[in-house]
Structure 1
Amino acid sequence: MKENKPQSTSKNNPSFQKKVWIVVGILAFSIITILLLKATFRVFLLILAGALIAIFFRGLSSFIQKKTKWKEGICVAISIISTFLIVIGLFWLIGAKVQDQMAELVETLPKTVENAKAKLNESSIGRNIVDNFSSVDSIEKAQGFAGQFFQSTFGFFGDLYVVLFIGIFFTISPKIYINGLVQLIPIKGQEAGKQVLNNISNQLLNWLKGTFFSMFVVFVLTAIGLAIIGIPLWLVLALLAGLISFIPNFGPLIALIPAVLIGLLQSPETALLVVGLYILIQFIESNFITTLVQKKLLDLPPALIIIAQLIMGTLTGIWGLVLATPIIVILIVLVQDLYIKNRE
């Protein structure tokens, strides 16, 4: 009579061991991928910033070509050169005044902070605020946060150099990079991939148009308002407000701080006028300018933008805060084109 052989355990089963190794391999690959993304995510943000510059140059060259019927290469060259000439011209025209006011601002701010402390120390609530913000623990936390928030991949000027040249290279020969990216997609989906990339480019171009228009309006209104109030550094403060308004939600708050401090140097009433001016400009920008711009844009939920800014700013610092909105635009286009339009 034949004895029953004991059944092989799962540990001795080759197929089971193979499955275990597959799971371990997938887990290891996932961890390595996450670590690589975390280490290189700031580089991807710089690439995105360069792509935005290229989209701007290409959009401007398309406008020039549409009006003049000139060749594409000539229009691209004109768009790049004219943009640099305009920027250099503006700095040449107002650069000296801005430089003088910036130097005065740097010299005045410490006195202004001390003046603000003196005003706050006149009340018990103000003294508590000053004590809390002046404590060693609060200062160390603020320095640590600022150091992490303003850190960059290659240094500030190194980042600008990288972004600028990436943008120029993308502008000169975009088809090389687009075709290379499309080649990574399976053949059946390459045509759809091209359409998605084209849609992303169009939406980002529309977003840039609206953002630059909003920045210009904020600069003009701030300059007029501060000049009427009589703030001595009105030009540099208005320029700062216009540039920082590129960052929605948090930009106006950042720009308000130096303006209020300069207002406090004159009087508390002047500081309150500055606060009222910035609130009025933010109201006009949010309810009229943004509403006008959004007609040509995707519907971007404000809460979603704030959440993205908080997450990106915490993880990657200033670049994440600046580029949170275009990242949301890209994600919304991807979800709409790849999922919502194709679901049954």
Structure 2
Amino acid sequence: MKFSQWIGFIILICCIYILWNIKQLLLLFFTAVIIANFINHGVQALQRFGIKRGYAVILSIVLLLTIVSGFFWLIVPPFAQQLPQLFKLVPQGIDQLIITIKDFISRLDPELIDALPSSQKIIEQLQPILERIAGQGLSVFYTTLGIPLTSLLLLALTLMLLVNPNAYRQGFIRFFPSFYRQKVDHILKECDRSLQGGLTIILFQMVMISLLSFIGLSLLKMPLTLAQSMLAGILTFIPNIGPVLSFIPPVAIALLESQWKSFAVFILYVIFYIIIQIAKNKLLNPLVIENRKSLLPAFTLLSQVFFAGLFGVLGFFLALPLALVSQVWLHEVLVKDILDRWKNKSSLEQRKPEIES
């Protein structure tokens, strides 16, 4: 390697080291980019009606703040009131669920009971892992600026990105060599389309499961229906694991009422997810299928484990957008630009006589 190449390599290593040390702030910036990107689509929709961008930005922000304020005014107070009761009932219901499962297994094979771990052992094994992930993910909030200032920083970053997104976009593109900037611009467009499609579908699922849960649990006269339905909607944001976790609290609480209610709640949630999948395939997929690249379930699950270990709890909740963006970059850079163009020299030499003949 030449001296200039060594200098460039050392600078690259230093940049990677610096980025690793500020990874939590980068994740915060990535969150601001996602929020700004989401609002920007609303701004662009208003611009199509002839509204200037400045007014469209103000109108979009006012509309978003109105929706968020209404949500916190109407939904959050009763949800916060029911949440402590929910946290008390769910462990009791899970204990009852474990007892019911053990009773069922003992009827099939009593020897299997000894092989099953107790809930206390499971909690003891998971506790250090969860504490490490939570502490790592939230360290940016309580060690850097604190929760209020960090939230204010997130809001400021979002507004700055929203006011003039092209300037930040072009600034990011200029970090790459001139011959690759057009390709990076294409990758950013693909990331935008993938995020728009993926987040639209996941938000649709969150709203649908919250509404259906509230209606179904109210008909069954279950306690804490609002808290349970809101928690189910929040957990649905987590791919793969979230839908499974979302119906555990309702089933566990229903088991405290009666066994038939727990079975009815389980069947009800299965029906809910079937309805959501049918509605998604009929209504959303024709609209957003061109804007997203589908994530393989195994890739999504591995990305959740990877980003949770790397960024903590924030990485776990942001695993979907991080996986969508990572998939685009891996497909465009690693697969298309490196692996697809990687030709074996020996195979080319063997084929050369055939081509000449």
Q: Same-fold call, TM > 0.5? A: yes
Distance (Å, rounded) in 1 between the aligned partners of 2:240 and 2:56: 35
| Secondary structure of the structure 1 residue equivalent to 2:318 | helix
Equivalent position amino acid for 2:317 in 1: V
Equivalent position amino acid for 1:316 in 2: F
Deviations 1:51-74 (A, max 9, x none): 11000110111112223x111011
Paired residues of 2:197 and 2:289 also in contact (CA < 8 A): no
Call closer, same or farther: CA 1:96–1:320 in 2, change over 3 Å: closer
Extract unaligned runs of 5+ from structure 1: 1-14
Distance (Å, rounded) in 1 between the aligned partners of 2:161 and 2:98: 49
- Normalised by the length of structure 1, the TM-score is 0.79
Call closer, same or farther: CA 1:117–1:188 in 2, change over 3 Å: closer
How far apart are residue 280 of structure 1 and its match?
2.7
Distance (Å, rounded) in 2 between the aligned partners of 1:275 and 1:316: 33
2:355 alignment partner in structure 1: none
The structure 2 residue matched to 1:256, chosen from 247, 260, 264, is 247
Larger radius of gyration: 1
Equivalent position amino acid for 1:149 in 2: I
1:97 alignment partner in structure 2: 78
How far apart are residue 47 of structure 1 and its match?
1.7
Paired residues of 1:261 and 1:271 also in contact (CA < 8 A): yes
2:216 alignment partner in structure 1: 225
Call closer, same or farther: CA 1:130–1:183 in 2, change over 3 Å: same
Paired residues of 1:260 and 1:275 also in contact (CA < 8 A): yes
2:203 alignment partner in structure 1: 212
Call closer, same or farther: CA 1:32–1:273 in 2, change over 3 Å: farther
1:145 alignment partner in structure 2: 129
Deviations 1:71-130 (A, max 9, x none): 101111111121111111122223343233224324434554565566567675797588
The structure 2 residue matched to 1:70, chosen from 33, 45, 51, is 51
Paired residues of 1:214 and 1:290 also in contact (CA < 8 A): no
Call closer, same or farther: CA 1:35–1:191 in 2, change over 3 Å: closer
2:289 alignment partner in structure 1: 295
Equivalent position amino acid for 2:21 in 1: A
Equivalent position amino acid for 2:174 in 1: Q
Call closer, same or farther: CA 1:276–1:340 in 2, change over 3 Å: same
How far apart are residue 241 of structure 1 and its match?
1.3
2:258 alignment partner in structure 1: 267
Extract unaligned runs of 5+ from structure 2: 342-357
Equivalent position amino acid for 1:52 in 2: I
User: Is the counterpart of residue 87 in structure 1 residue 78 in structure 2?
Assistant: no
Equivalent position amino acid for 1:188 in 2: F
Superposition RMSD in Å: 3.4
Call closer, same or farther: CA 1:99–1:71 in 2, change over 3 Å: same
The structure 1 residue matched to 2:314, chosen from 319, 323, 344, is 319
Equivalent position amino acid for 1:108 in 2: L
Tell me whether 126-135 or 34-43 shows the greater mean CA deviation: 126-135
Distance (Å, rounded) in 1 between the aligned partners of 2:222 and 2:259: 13
| Secondary structure of the structure 2 residue equivalent to 1:247 | coil
- Normalised by the length of structure 2, the TM-score is 0.76
1:50 alignment partner in structure 2: 32
Distance (Å, rounded) in 2 between the aligned partners of 1:167 and 1:298: 25
How far apart are residue 131 of structure 1 and its match?
6.4
User: Is the counterpart of residue 276 in structure 1 residue 281 in structure 2?
Assistant: no
Equivalent position amino acid for 1:134 in 2: Q
| Secondary structure of the structure 2 residue equivalent to 1:155 | helix
Q: Percent identity?
A: 25
How far apart are residue 220 of structure 1 and its match?
1.7
Paired residues of 2:254 and 2:265 also in contact (CA < 8 A): yes
Call closer, same or farther: CA 1:100–1:35 in 2, change over 3 Å: same
| Secondary structure of the structure 2 residue equivalent to 1:314 | helix
Paired residues of 1:61 and 1:72 also in contact (CA < 8 A): yes
Paired residues of 2:86 and 2:228 also in contact (CA < 8 A): no
The structure 2 residue matched to 1:165, chosen from 156, 160, 169, is 156
Distance (Å, rounded) in 2 between the aligned partners of 1:110 and 1:329: 34
Distance (Å, rounded) in 2 between the aligned partners of 1:25 and 1:341: 22
The structure 2 residue matched to 1:108, chosen from 89, 93, 96, is 89
Paired residues of 1:120 and 1:130 also in contact (CA < 8 A): no
Call closer, same or farther: CA 1:275–1:63 in 2, change over 3 Å: same
| Secondary structure of the structure 1 residue equivalent to 2:22 | helix
